[in-house]
Chains A and B, each alone.
Chain A
Amino acid sequence: MDKDSAIKSLLEEAAETRWEIGQEFHDKLSESIYQNAAHIADRTVIKEGQKENFNIDRTIDSIVTSPIWGFPIMFCVLAVVLWLTIIGSNYPSQFLAFLLLDNAYEWLRAFAIDLGTPWWLSGFLIDGVFLSLAWVISVMLPPMAIFFPLFTILEDLGYLPRIAFNLDALFRKSGAHGKQALTMSMGFGCNAAGVIATRIIDSPRERLIAIITNNFSLCNGRWPTQILLGTIFIGQMVPDSYQSLVSTASVIGVALLGIGLTFASSWALSKTFLKGEVSSFTLELPPYRKPRILQTIYTSLIDRTLIVLWRACVFAAPAGAVIWLVCNITIGDTSIANHLIYLMDNFGLLIGLNGVILLAYVLAIPANEIVIPTILMLTVMTAPITGYGSGDGVMFELDSLGNTHEVLVAGGWTLLTAINVMLFSLIHNPCSTTIYTIYKETNSVRWTTLASIGPVILGFIVCFVVAQIYYML
């Protein structure tokens, strides 16, 4: 008998036997394996006294995953992590800005003048490329260096699986996978990291939902925008003593709206483009472990912070160059930037924004953290005010919140503009790093396009509706 026919007869024999035994084979075999395991464990595992520590784990679990306390505790943990990130990153941010923007920038400019570099070259390299890099580093590095280690410590502690456990029911109702809770939390640090983390989801359908909706997790680059606007516009509506409370609440409100949108859009996707059954999975609640703080800080700095920062820099440098170019290349009498702002102004006003903001978002696709500096720069250029900034196409940030408020109001900003910029900052296309990551992970132009364009359209609709309601009131 030759090999091929032997293989054939073996497979036939197996198929026949399978019919004879029937469905119960798998269960019977699993049962035997469990019996064997129990037998061996019985002979070898020695338990002394009561398992007190296991009970401590169980007690903690019964609180943090309880129907009553689970959500408030999650909310508090989120608030504390954000609060530490916001407060903690303030000082290093100021220091880096002092170092890179005030000192290194001036020094480079002086150096360029000494060398006799033509104005367009030093403008392009120093005012364009260098400034945008300096911005990204000073605004992005400190919060990431605080947020990622905090997040990693929560991971090591074992809290993340509990979050997934709590949110599982909600995700299931939205037609998505419970592990999306984990990738959503990652997204609060960085959407690109969140998209990569979706690899833990096996089912391609549910993984796509997690990838497409990750953008609704407010990322690090967008927190500063929210905090700034929440402080100078929303906070100022109430008496001084409530200001910090109200502005914090407005920022957390936007973040919660993002979570709500994650559920809503997951549900919508699972009812339209990505129909299918919710797959089940086992999630083991691991024991709580004491995190190793120093090692955690080291690995999260190396593995996450620096990699994400590097990618942001790669995308921000050319963006800075483009911003400088559109402000300094003129067609007719005005710069390209002015032409574009004029073109987009009507549409912008219709949805409660303006041309400056829309152009800033287009220019800032590479990195969300340069949105506010770009808006300020473009506003100064076009609004009838003098005495701020240092010339066309130079990104800068104003020293005090009061000045920023003044510039924006001069640029035609109202409370509506602030609210809508906060909303639009939550609901718009992902940054180019994330778009690229989505393409790498899905390998599909179609899904990448949906993930990029979909949120922009939704953002326009939301801003339009809010603007109409605002005008009516």
Chain B
Amino acid sequence: MQNNTPSACDSCAHNPNTSLKRLGVEVENTDYVIALAGNPNTGKSTVFNSLTGLKQHTGNWPGKTVGRAEGGFMFNDNSYKIIDLPGTYSLMSTSEDEEIARNFILFGKPDVTIIVVDAGRLERNLNLVLQILEITDKAVLCLNLIDEAKRHNISVDERTLSKDLGIPVVATSAIRNVGIQELLKTVDDVAKGKIKCTPHRIKNVPKEIDKKVSKIQASIESLYPGLPNARWIAFRLLDGDEDIIKAIEEGEFINDK
């Protein structure tokens, strides 16, 4: 377990090691694209603001971010564009918010997806995390609101969580700028491939279903070799997701990386 006490230097604006330069809305032709996903009301917009220096309005009610917001920052001489996606509980149903979030992660192919979760409500938040990890293999978990969780006598074993999920985990309290430096560095490492993720894949799927999923997955992979999320697409096909069926018909999954 890590010590969650915030270091004063970490949150200090005069920290000379800080290589963060906020770019506000200047986001043309950046080196990397970051998506910011998570459940409603986990502080995504606060994380977004502290990275970009923008003042996107934050409010304590779910569904506050309408559509998506974009901003930019420089870190270690690379420019980043970051997209604040609407908060959702899942990526499997049909609300407009879920579609915006899902489509961006799937088709927008962000270089890194930051998944913001509420440390005090981890179990409920993991539902979305596990779904996102089926789609993308480059993600960082931002374990936000740690101070609030601590007040409720809840702490999270970050190392085990990181091992189980197969992605780096950074504890933050974005509202007080705690852990943002570490989050940036981790995102930078994942974007440049210095950290390799081996994301968790959904287990315990009933055997007879799993077998059929694997068969479809194999067909998809033979059609689009190297596709990172063939299993998830197989899930969606078996769920009768019209958008995904249409995307396959139009050949949108061609692996261009």
Contact = CB atoms under 8 A, between A and B. Distances in A.
A30 B92 contact: yes
Contact of A36 (B41, B130, B212, B216): B130
B212 A44 contact: no
Interface stretch (A13-21, A60-68, A335-343): A13-21
Nearest to A47: B154
Interface string B147-159: 0100111111110
A299 B55 contact: yes
Interface string A261-283: 00000000000000000000011
Contacts, number: 167
A40 B59 contact: no
Interface residues on B, range: 35 or more
Contact of B63 (A32, A44, A51, A200): A200
Contacts of B234: 14
A332 to B, nearest CB: 54
A200 B87 CA distance: 11
Contacts of A10: 216, 219-220, 223, 248
Nearest to A30: B92
A41 to B, nearest CB: 4
A37 B126 contact: yes
A17 B236 CA distance: 12
B130 to A, nearest CB: 5
Nearest to A163: B61
Interface residues on A, range: 35 or more
A155 B131 CA distance: 30
A284 B251 contact: no
B122 to A, nearest CB: 5
B127 interface: yes
A38 B123 CA distance: 6
A7 B96 CA distance: 27
Given A11-B245, A156-B58, 17 more contacts: A11-B248, A20-B212, A25-B238, A26-B92, A30-B92, A32-B205, A33-B131, A37-B123, A41-B122, A44-B160, A47-B153, A47-B154, A51-B154, A53-B152, A161-B62, A284-B40, A303-B55
Interface of A: 3, 6-7, 9-11, 13-14, 17-18, 20-21, 25-26, 28-30, 32-38, 40-41, 43-54, 152, 155-158, 160-161, 179, 182, 199-200, 202, 282-284, 286-287, 289, 291-292, 299, 302-303
